[in-house]
Amino acid sequence: MDPSSPPPDVAKQMTTTVTDLDDIRARLTNWMSQQTGTDVRIGELTRPSESGMSSVSILFDATWSEDGTEHHANLVARIPPDDTAFPVFPSYDLRRQYDVIAAVAAKTSAPVPKLYWIEESTAALGRPFIVIERVDGRIPVDNPPYVFGGWLLDAAPEQQRQLQDTSVEILAAIHALPDPQTTFPAMAEEAGDDALRSLVDAQRAYYEWTRREDGLRIPVIEETFDWLEAHWPADPGETVLCWGDARPGNMIYDGFTPVAVLDWEMCTLGPREVDLAWMCFLHRFFQDIAEVFELPGIPTLFRPDDMIATYEKASGHTVGDFEFFIVYAALRHAVVMSQVKRRMIHFGEDTEPATHDEYVMFHAMLRGIIEGTYDWSGK
């Protein structure tokens, strides 16, 4: 099978928020002129085909004058999805994302795009939005997953390892942000005295939100919640800023080194292992899809032992209870995927499955993880 032509089930297109780019261009031009106090010229707008599930990204370039000097910038406007677009998540906190990116830029060595503006009203575009720098580079794509083809799959093993190590080192840099409870008081209030308990409870609330209309119970998800309760860490460790959606598909790379960390919608406070396990799990999720279709993928990438060794060296922190956090990562993804399945059924892009477990695309993998039969070694 040609990796550049993934199987139909993998390459399914999902309905996303549709926007009138000409209208947005006119509105953005007017709004930016007000922000800068001068005439602004905006070039052609484009929208990446993969945007729109958790947010809409609009790419554009702009030119304006300031203090007699002409400024030109390549920019991105990030807009929350439309309320009518069958949302995957119950809320979207744009201000939180903006403040976290600002703090990461100011207080850590992790690379993030330059922030330009935030507009919290709906007057300009009908939705709030932020405008950030557009960073040049390349991204390992998610749809179809990078394990099916592309520059990362084609790279030499040592280059793939460089990408892995530098990506894990970014996590250590983010987690080094000092005193996150003081920096992010709202997130600190959510975390309370037990950040891990608050995170798992929030996942339960999210799961209940996804089934609020159909009442559908998914056995493998509920069994995973039970597994977590039965294997709770004795010491979850210190609370740090967690990126939340830590994966190579949310980073821009120059060669095989990250130059920008994107997509902070899922940022939170919690144990360090939350991010590390999420990055590990998401790769194995993609790798398993490749192996189902008898493609090689990249089985040696993001293996737990390798990631842990790199992270411990970069952070000086000893990783604990990694199996628990892998299961927690799998649970998070399972709830998201169950809502994505509902969304695709809603838009006529998929049909109702034969069993409730099949609302989770990787239900067999998840069951293997909680039963201890899943092989994490890579082949």
Cα(186)–Cα(86) distance, integer angstroms: 27
Phi then psi for 370, rounded to 5 degrees?
Answer: -75, -20
Give the DSSP per-residue string, 330-341: HHHHHHHHHHHH
* Active centre residues (catalytic): 245
Max Cα–Cα distance, the chain, nearest Å:
66
Sorted by sequence, the CB contacts under 8 Å of residue 2 that are 6+ apart come out as none
Q: Is 190 helix (H, G, I), strand (E, B) or coil?
A: helix
Residue 145: beta bridge partners? 142
Cα(3)–Cα(157) distance, integer angstroms: 18
Would you mind telling me the total number of residues written for the chain in this entry?
Answer: 379
Cα(179)–Cα(195) distance, integer angstroms: 14
- Long-range CB contacts (< 8 A, 24+ apart) of 14-17? 14/53, 14/340, 14/343, 14/344, 14/347, 14/349, 15/85, 15/86, 15/343, 15/344, 15/347, 15/349, 16/51, 16/52, 16/53, 16/56, 16/81, 16/85, 17/52, 17/56, 17/79, 17/81, 17/82, 17/85
Burial category of 142 from C-beta neighbours within 10 Å (exposed 0-12, middle 13-18, buried 19 and up): middle
Distances (CA, A) of 328 to 207, 232, 235: 13, 11, 16
Cα(31)–Cα(264) distance, integer angstroms: 24
